[in-house]
């Protein structure tokens, strides 16, 4: 019998992406979809590209009978998410796509997000959802915290290098170029086509982006010492994609070897030949991650470049990959579709 799946927040992009992916899963069935402001509407009205699917109407969360749900994806805004999840049945398997359960230290949460955490028990219970590095914990988890899309990208670029000790830890710079869907379906002037197309800019410059909380937590834990990176995101006129250009101190060959060792058996992580670099064009709509390494002309420095699709591997694809683990399905189920190009 198919696992019964609920998606809360199905009127946003990560919710729609979940529906797109689950549509091809042989053992999952979507039995509930919520969308507060669009409750009562069909998905065909909210997302006409899903018109051909037989889906439940959008409802309010309180209308859902969670006793009939096996796993719940929560694609709500942060802060709302913690309040909703706090009140869900204690035995329900949950994958949260918001920022609410990513940081283990409530003080760090408050520092980056501004509000005190409203679901401390769940926060303590939550497993960080970066599949390749928390696979066994996720398999056993009840509540998984999906990572930030930028945070995932940066960690794919750096975790194996920190673990292998092949780079310096004090001068890491992550320059990220992000597609606009990462900002969600928000009605903001700078996200209008007329404002965004044909130009690009940095934002949250100087160390203010909230995904830094994840970098600080994860890299410091991994290194066994405090690690602080520089991170500048840029908004680029494309709908999907994150390209991380990461400047590190270390030898390109050793770095490349570390990646090949770490990702050898990973189904979604593709390490390019040394000297080649990836493009977001070639991961669009897929769960794949392309990783490239190049040595700089300056001895002892290298550039690592990672490309993924923020909505798929950076968010909803990761979530489905985790759900597969939590439900005893094949990890790659419904996730092997090739990228869409052109």
Element (H, E) at 166: none
- 69 near 92, Cβ under 8 Å? yes
Q: Name which of 189 and 265 has its Cβ closer to a copy of itself.
A: 189
Interface positions, 4-63, toward a copy of itself (CB under 8 A): 13, 16, 19-20, 23-24, 47-53
Among 15, 241, 250, 317, indicate the residue that binds a copy of itself (CB under 8 A). Answer: 241
Among 3, 93, 117, 240, indicate the residue that binds a copy of itself (CB under 8 A). Answer: 240
Which of 72, 74, 149, 178 is catalytic? The answer is 149
Residue 7 sits at φ, ψ, to 5 deg, of -120, 115
Among 230, 254, 257, 260, indicate the residue that binds a copy of itself (CB under 8 A). Answer: 230
Q: Name which of 89 and 237 has its Cβ closer to a copy of itself.
A: 237
Give CA–CA dist 106/15, Å, rounded: 27
72 as an active site residue: the answer is no
Sheet-wide strand order for 143-145? 58-59, 28-34, 3-8, 71-74, 93-96, 143-145, 127-128
Six-digit token string for 160: 């194996």
Which range, of 29-37, 59-67, 119-127, 331-339, touches a copy of itself by CB under 8 A? 331-339
Q: Name which of 165 and 207 has its Cβ closer to a copy of itself.
A: 207
Residue 135 binds a copy of itself (CB under 8 A): no
Give CA–CA dist 220/175, Å, rounded: 19
Residue 107 binds a copy of itself (CB under 8 A): no
Residue 337 binds a copy of itself (CB under 8 A): yes
Residue 220 binds a copy of itself (CB under 8 A): no
Residue 138 sits at φ, ψ, to 5 deg, of -65, -40
Among 237, 253, 261, 300, indicate the residue that binds a copy of itself (CB under 8 A). Answer: 237
Give CA–CA dist 221/33, Å, rounded: 37
Interface positions, 63-92, toward a copy of itself (CB under 8 A): none
Shortest distance, position 130 Cβ to a copy of itself, whole Å:
20
Give CA–CA dist 61/82, Å, rounded: 14
Closest CA to 159 of 236, 278, 266: 266
**x/- contact string, 272-311, with a copy of itself (CB under 8 A)?**
x--x-xxxxxxxxxx-x-x-x-xxxxx--xxx-x-x----
Q: What does DSSP say about strands 93-96 and 28-34: parallel, antiparallel, or unpaired?
A: unpaired
Give CA–CA dist 313/153, Å, rounded: 9
b/e 142-151 (16+ beta carbons within 10 angstroms → b): ebbbbbbbbb
Interface positions, 141-200, toward a copy of itself (CB under 8 A): 171, 173, 175, 177, 180-181, 185, 187-189, 191-200
Shortest distance, position 115 Cβ to a copy of itself, whole Å:
21
Q: Name which of 57 and 185 has its Cβ closer to a copy of itself.
A: 185
Among 27, 41, 163, 339, indicate the residue that binds a copy of itself (CB under 8 A). Answer: 339
Which range, of 62-70, 143-151, 153-161, 227-235, touches a copy of itself by CB under 8 A? 227-235
Among 238, 319, 323, 325, indicate the residue that binds a copy of itself (CB under 8 A). Answer: 238
Give CA–CA dist 31/278, Å, rounded: 38
Q: How far is CA 67 from the centre of its chain?
A: 28
Shortest distance, position 301 Cβ to a copy of itself, whole Å:
7
Residue 232 binds a copy of itself (CB under 8 A): yes
Closest CA to 94 of 127, 117, 61: 127
- 310 near 181, Cβ under 8 Å? yes
Six-digit token string for 212: 């830094």
Binders of a copy of itself: how many residues, by CB under 8 A? Answer: 88
Catalytically active residues are: 149
């Amino acid at each position: 019998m198919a696992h019964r799946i609920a998606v809360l927040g199905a009127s946003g992009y990560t919710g729609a992406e979940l529906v797109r992916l689950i549509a091809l899963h042989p053992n999952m069935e979507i039995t509930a979809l919520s969308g507060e402001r669009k409750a009562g509407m069909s998905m065909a009205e909210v997302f006409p590209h899903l018109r051909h699917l037989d889906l439940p109407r959008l409802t309010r969360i309180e209308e859902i009978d969670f006793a009939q749900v096996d796993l719940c994806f929560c694609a709500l805004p942060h802060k709302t998410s913690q309040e909703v999840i706090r009140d869900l049945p204690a035995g329900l398997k949950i994958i949260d796509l918001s920022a609410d359960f990513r940081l283990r230290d409530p003080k760090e949460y408050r520092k980056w997000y501004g509000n005190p955490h409203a679901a401390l028990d769940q926060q303590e219970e939550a497993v960080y959802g970066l599949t390749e590095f928390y696979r066994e914990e996720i398999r056993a988890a009840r509540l998984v915290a999906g990572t930030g899309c930028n945070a995932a990208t940066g960690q794919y670029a750096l975790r194996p290098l920190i673990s292998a000790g092949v780079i310096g830890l004090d001068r890491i710079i992550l320059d990220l170029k992000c597609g606009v869907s990462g900002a969600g379906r928000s009605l903001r002037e700078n996200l209008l086509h007329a404002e965004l197309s044909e130009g690009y800019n940095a934002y949250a410059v100087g160390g203010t982006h909230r995904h830094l909380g994840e970098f600080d937590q994860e890299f410091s834990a991994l290194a066994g010492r405090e690690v602080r990176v520089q991170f500048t995101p840029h908004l680029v006129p494309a709908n999907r994609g994150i390209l991380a250009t990461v400047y590190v101190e270390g030898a390109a060959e050793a770095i490349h070897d570390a990646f090949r060792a770490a990702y050898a058996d990973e189904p979604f992580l593709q390490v390019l030949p040394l000297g080649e670099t990836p493009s977001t064009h070639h991961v669009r709509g897929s769960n794949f991650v392309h990783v490239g390494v190049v040595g700089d002309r300056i001895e002892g420095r290298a550039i690592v470049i990672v490309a993924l699709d923020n909505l798929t591997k950076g968010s909803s694809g990761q979530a489905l990959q985790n759900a597969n683990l939590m439900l005893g399905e094949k990890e790659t189920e419904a996730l092997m579709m090739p990228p869409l190009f052109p």
